[in-house]
Amino acid sequence: MPRFLFDYIDGGAYAEQTLAANVSDLAAVALRQRVMVDVAHIDTSATWFGTTHALPVALGPIGLAGMYARRGEVQASRAASAASVPFCQSTLSLCSLGEVAAAGPPPWFQLYMMKDRGFMRGLIAEARDLGCPALVFTVDLPIAGARYRDRRSGLSGAPGLATDLRRYAQAALHPRWALDVGLLGRPHRLGNVAPVLGAQSGLEDFLAWIGANMDRSVSWADLEWVRDAWPGPLILKGVLDVDDARAARALGADALVVSNHGGRQLDGVLSTARALPLIADAVGDDLLLFADGGVRSGLDVLRLLALGAKGVLLGRAWAWALGGAHGGSGEAGVRHMLGIITAELQVAMALTGVTSIAEISGDVLVGGAAQAPHPLLSSRA
C-alpha cells in the first residue's frame, strides 16, 4: 500500500516509545507452564452483554480502514461475523455505518466527542435505529497526538497540489492497490460525516479535520447526555488512570477499554500491560474491562486476560491482515488472522492448564497478575 497509509497504521506519536512499550511490556509477561492437566476440551468463547462470541476478542475501531482494501470496513465486518466476533466501526471510516450494517450484523459503533452535538445525536440515533449492540466512546482524543510519520508521508499537513502529488506518486508505486482501492474503491470520503460536511468529508487533510472538529473542552459532565441518549451498553475507550476509571464507573459506563490509543496519542504514558492490573484491581468487579495495545498473537490475548481484561480489542493485527492479504481479498486475510489467533490461544491455554476463558486469571502468570510485568508498578507496591 502507499507509504502514507502504511505509516498511518504502523506509526505512533512523538518518538513512538509507548508504541514500542506496548509490545515489549506485554511480551515480558511470563506465563506458568502447567503439565498433566486434562485439556482435551478447550472453550475459547466469551460472553459480553448477553451475547456469546467464539473468541474473547473484537476487531477494534480503526479510521480509514476502507483504504486498506476495497470498502475495507465491509470486508472486515464480514470476516468478524464469520468468526463470531464483534466488529467495531470507527466514526472516521470510509464506509458509512449504514453500508456496513447492510452487509452483515450491525457493528459496535465508535464515537468521539465533537463540537457539533447535533451531529453526534444524529449518529447515536442512527446507531440505535440500526441495532448496533454497543457504543464505544473514545475519550482520549480531544486533540490528535503529534504523529510525525503522518506529516512526513503526506497524510497530514497543508492540503494542496504538492501533498496530492506526493500521495499520487506513492500510489503509483503500488499499481494493484491503485486499481483495486484507489480507483475501484471509491468514493474516498468519510462516510459517516459526509451527510453533514459534504465536500469537506474527503481525505485531503484527515488529521486537520480531527483538529477542527474534536471538542477540546469536553469533561465528564459532557458525557452524561451520551449516557442518557444511548440505551445500550456504553464502553469508554482510552482509559489509563485509576481515577479516570473510577469516574467512568460513577458516570454509569458499562465497560472500559484500557488503552493508550496504540501509542498514537501521548508518548511516554504507561503501556497497556502496566496500566491494566492497576485498573482491574480498582474497578474490575464493577465494570467489564477490555484492553488493547501491543497484541500480536493469541499468546498476547491470554496475557491481557490474565492481567485483568475480560476481552481484547485487536487493532493493527486486523488492519495488516486486511491490507496485506494476497489475492485482493481483505476479508480472507482477516479470517486467516483470526484463525491464527484462535489456534495460538488454544495452545497457550492448553499449556497453562486452563480449558475455558473464565478460568484465565493471574494464576497463569509467574508471580501473579499484580507482579506482571513489573513489581514496582503493581497495585500492591
Q: Which residues are catalytic?
A: 261
Q: Is 52 exposed, middle or buried (0-12, 13-18, 19+ CB in 10 A)?
A: exposed
Q: Going by C-beta distance under 8 Å and a sequence separation of 6 or more, which residues neighbour residue 340?
A: 297, 298
Cβ 23 vs Cβ 296: under 8 Å? yes
Q: Which of 293, 64, 335, 11 is nearest to 185 (CA)?
A: 64
Whole-number Å distance between alpha carbons of 181 and 44: 35
Whole-number Å distance between alpha carbons of 7 and 10: 5
Whole-number Å distance between alpha carbons of 287 and 6: 35
Neighbouring C-alpha atoms within 13 Å toward the C-beta of 107: 31
C-alpha grid cell for residue 274?
A: 502496566
Question: Which element (helix H / strand E) includes 367?
Answer: none
Task: Compute the Cα dihedral for 238, 241, 243, 249 and give only its sign.
Answer: positive
Whole-number Å distance between alpha carbons of 227 and 247: 13
Whole-number Å distance between alpha carbons of 257 and 276: 9
Q: Rounded to an integer, what is the distance from CA 38 to the centroid of its chain?
A: 34
C-alpha grid cell for residue 373?
A: 510485568
DSSP structure class, residue 74 = H
DSSP 3-state of 241:
coil
